[in-house]
Structure 1
Amino acid sequence: MKISEILKTKQVTISFECFPPKTQAKYASVEAATEKVAALHPDFLSVTYGAGGGTSEYTLNIAANIRNKYGVDVLPHLTCVSSTKEKVHEMIRKYKEGGFENIMALRGDIPEGGSPVHDYRYASELIYDIREHGGDFCIGGACYPEGHVECAHKDEDIRHLKEKVDAGCDFLTTQMFFDN
């Protein structure tokens, strides 16, 4: 089910985020944790993409496993900060072929000590590209109620948020912290 449909039908939603392991050796621990979380019957589980897309195949595998084994809707992430357009288009194709309905489109964190590939500067560019090349995905984006750390002014934050929506973002989400 598309996340946008879940959000339309429920006043409160519960979701969890799963981080793919960096190595195949740790895959079993993620599977065990996923089983426990799925037993809580969340509205959906999101699966992160990993720094620079290094664990992108694990993202696909874990997301498919969650959906197929536990019947939980999934929201696989896609980041663009260290990706070329070709790599992004390949992942969009894989998500589409895998039958996924949702993508969480994020710029991602700039790698420490590294420089990003400049095919995409902002998440809004990624969202636009998914909408143009991906078909009928429900696309999520990030928002920052307290302001993004790289934005000097709230007006700039709001402009970037509007750009995401204008590019085709279906819903926005933020991380919730209990100790700000």
Structure 2
Amino acid sequence: MNAPTVSFEFFPPQNLEASFRLWDTVQTLAPLDPSFVSVTYGAGGTTRDLTRDAVATLHKSSGLNVAAHLTCVNATREETLAIARDFAEAGVREIVALRGDAPKGQDRFTAMAGGFANSLELIEALAATGDFKIRVGAYPDRHPEAASARADIDWLKAKLDAGASEAITQFFFEADTFFRFRDDCAAAGITAPIIPGILPIESWKGTRNFAKRCGTKVPAWMEDAFDKAERDGRSDLLATAICTELCSELMDGGAPALHFYTLNRPELTRDVCHALGVTPKLELQNVA
């Protein structure tokens, strides 16, 4: 098996300590020559300015291909497109376009007056500028707000038809989950690359709770395995083994690349990449 193409997702820092953690994460993972790195928005658009600053700094200082997350939350159309223009002017030409989660205290997303109603409208507007390569989210396990698994696939196709060129999936725990989804997408006429999103398990309790909120199915065997590993103090070893095996199965099954949700904790992601044959290739540029 050839070493896979990889990419990484980072969080924007919200304080000085987090800034150091982000830069340590970049220093650890940049030598693995990712095809791109992305920087998220916080829930409810809470890190909009931080994301913009982090994207611009990484683009200028790291030498990496940086993609910015952009959502529809808590902003008018003009405000959102102004942020997109800022990205373009800074030389950032890739966007991960998402509807975004509901702001804190709200149960469901509601578009603000004058804002984009959904990710499809955002994608159409970004595509019309001609400035960006656009990636979108995809859901191998049904999105909590979707009427059905088929509705998820139909919505993904609409987003790709509107101008997106690739999709990155929500995380999942078994390769067959991705393969079933990929095959269902192909049957629906989707031809764009679908990149599996990988969440290395830094904390089983935190990951399990996150999965519940996202609608990601947790296999019973993982519950049992981590219960035993935590008693024996071997959670890190188990997490590395499970993630490496998942990625190997995905690559053997024809996944076009792997996108890692790093949570700005790079060690496990680095170890998994090394196990897959992804070895350091680049020297990180110094911050100017």
Encode CA deviations 1:32-76: one digit per residue, 9 max, x unaligned: 222212133222111102233332232222223323322111111
SS in 1 for 2:70: strand
SS in 1 for 2:103: coil
- Shift of residue 20 of structure 1? 0.7
Q: In the alignment, which residue of structure 2 is the partner of 1:116?
A: 110
Equivalence map 1:15-164=2 (5 Å): 15-24=7-16, 26-114=18-106, 116-118=110-112, 119-132=115-128, 134-164=129-159
Q: Which has the larger radius of gyration?
A: 2
For 2:168 and 2:46, the matched residues in 1 are separated by 24
For 2:30 and 2:150, the matched residues in 1 are separated by 39
Q: In the alignment, which residue of structure 2 is the partner of 1:6?
A: none
Q: 1 or 2 for the larger relative contact order (CA 8 Å, sep ≥6)?
A: 2
**Equivalent pair of 1:45/1:74 in contact (CA under 8 Å):** yes
**Shift in alpha-carbon separation, 1:13–1:175, aligned structure 2, 3 A:** farther
- Shift of residue 91 of structure 1? 0.6
- Runs of 5+ consecutive residues of structure 1 not aligned to the other structure: 1-9
What is the CA RMSD across the aligned residues, in angstroms? 2.2
**What TM-score, normalized to structure 1?**
0.83
For 1:61 and 1:92, the matched residues in 2 are separated by 13
- Runs of 5+ consecutive residues of structure 2 not aligned to the other structure: 175-217, 219-288
Equivalenced residue count is 170
Q: Identity, % of aligned pairs?
A: 39
For 1:137 and 1:24, the matched residues in 2 are separated by 31
